[in-house]
Amino acid sequence: MLDFMFAVFGGLAVLGAAVLFFHPSIVHGAFALVASLLGVAGLYWTLGADFLGGAQLLLYVGGVTVLLLFAVMLTTRDSQRISLPRHVFGALLVGLLGAWLWDACSGVLAVVQASGAGLPPDPQPTTALIGTALLERAEYLLPFEAISVLLLVVLVGAVTLARRRTEGGA
C-alpha cells in the first residue's frame, strides 16, 4: 500500500516539475507546480510526517501558488519559447550536476547499507509531538518566536515594496 502511494505521489511530484520545465505556457507551468507540491505533500505522508504534509498543503498548495498565480496574471503578457543555445547550455549543466548527484547519493547509500541498520519502527502521529517540541520542551522555542517576528517583517516589507510610489516619495 505504501509502495503504491509512493509511486502515485512521487510520480505526481516529478511529472508536475517536468511539465513546469517543458510546457511553454507559464500558467500551465504554475498549475503543474501545484500538482508537484501536492505530490511532495503526499510523500511526506508516506514518510509518516502527517503534520508537515498538512502544513505543506496549506502553505504551499494553498498559499504560495495562489500568490504565484496572481503574479503571473499581473505581469506576464505572452508565453515565450526557450532559445536553443540556452536549452543546450542548461541541459549540459544539469547533466553534469545529475551525474555528480548520482555519485554522491550512491556513496551515501553504500554507507547506509554497510551500516547494517534495519528499518526503524513505523512512525507515530506527529502533531502532538511537534507541539511539545515547539513549546513545552522548548527545544525549538527560539526559532519559533523568531519566525513570528520574521513574518511581521515580511508582511510590512511586502506591503512597502509592492505599493506604488506617490508624489511625495516613499
Partner 1 sequence: MIAALLQDAHAVAQAAPEAAGAAPSAALEAARLAGSLSSYLVVSGLLFLLGVAVILVRRNALYVLMGVELILNAANLNFVAFARFGGYGLDGQMFALFVVILAAAEAAIALAIVLRIFNDFGSIDITRTDSLRD
H or E stretch including 45? helix 26-46
Least distance in angstroms from the C-beta of 102 to partner 1 = 7
Q: Which is nearer to partner 1, 136 or 151 (CB)?
A: 151
Cβ at position 70, least distance to partner 1 in Å: 8
**Residue 54 burial (10 A CB sphere; 0-12, 13-18, 19+):** middle
CB of 133 to partner 1, least distance (A): 6
Cα–Cα distance list, 69 to 72, 76, 131 (Å): 5, 10, 32
Instruction: Tell me if 46 sits within 8 A of 2, measured CB to CB.
Output: yes
Output 136 or 155, the one with its CB closest to partner 1: 155
Q: Which is nearer to partner 1, 102 or 136 (CB)?
A: 102
Q: Which CB atom, from 77 or from 168, has the smaller least distance to partner 1?
A: 77
Least CB distance to partner 1 at residue 144 (A): 9
Q: How far apart are CA 64 and CA 1, in angstroms?
A: 30
Residue 153 class from Cβ within 10 Å (0-12 exposed, 13-18 middle, 19+ buried)? exposed
